[in-house]
Structure 1
Amino acid sequence: MDNNLLSGSIPDFLGNLPNLRELNLAYNQLSGRVPESLLSNNKLNLNLTGNPLLTIEEKHMPHWKKAIWSVIAVVVIIVVVGVCCCSCHGLLSLSLLKSRSRQRDEVKLTGVAHLWFPHLERKLCRISCALARSSDSYHLRPVERKTHCGFGQEQGNQA
């Protein structure tokens, strides 16, 4: 009885036929609930493919179909939690970068970099380069240690 353009609901009496072993109602235009008597008959080979308007009670659905919905729900939850975690991590990183940028800007504006870089407080040997006229090369010569990397007060006169 497949591909016969049958419409309407499946009659209840079909499930009460004791010798019915196969019922192929595929690719028709059947609608409504599938009778309980057809679904509970374990000896019946029932094909209802291609009838999208038919409804089957959940208790008669194969176990794997129920499991698919559970798996889909778990995957959706994992994806949503993952996206939320990545978003929070990104926002936190961005906030930290902005905070550090503001701190660097404050150093530029106030000139207190020596507080951030204590190793620069040591007296450093300043080097100047002079261009040699005869060889067109640079020569390095030490200059007297007079300042603290330009952050402190100069002692004496500079040449």
Structure 2
Amino acid sequence: MSRNVDPAHPRPTPFDGKSEYAAWQTLLDSIPYSRHLGLKVQQHNEATLVQLPYRDAFIGNFMLPALHGGVIGALIEITARIAAQREDTQLRSPRILGSNIHYLRSATAQITFANAEIVRQGRRTSLVRVSCWQGDTTAPIANGVVQLLFSTSEKNQDGIGDK
């Protein structure tokens, strides 16, 4: 079931009148785990980056010290989700169908960045490639590919009935 949209009276969006930066930050702030992690948006050379601040609580191996892989995985999945959601013209909240994450090197105790590239954005699904690094963009610590599903029912577009 699709919505009837009157082109003469477009539906207001949470991004109206906001910069790309502010729109991404609005999406990040709408995800509780994103707020818990303290994720922030940054602009860098025409790209929108997601920044994960360093916290001792994120350390998975205190001997190295290295960030926990689950924190890196969450950064990748959340970055993919907001990138796909930002590109969706119907402002639907996507659900993750699957993710494939490659941990390339140890993530040290410092600020981590991620950026997303939409590989394919369809009517119902999206495929997003994400890269994470610390300091040097040419030396990624992890990368991943996330497949997302957008709801097609009117009931779920409003967030009603989501569990």
Q: TM-score, normalised by structure 1?
A: 0.19
Q: TM-score, normalised by structure 2?
A: 0.18
| Higher strand fraction (1 or 2) | 2
- Larger Cα-atom Rg: 1
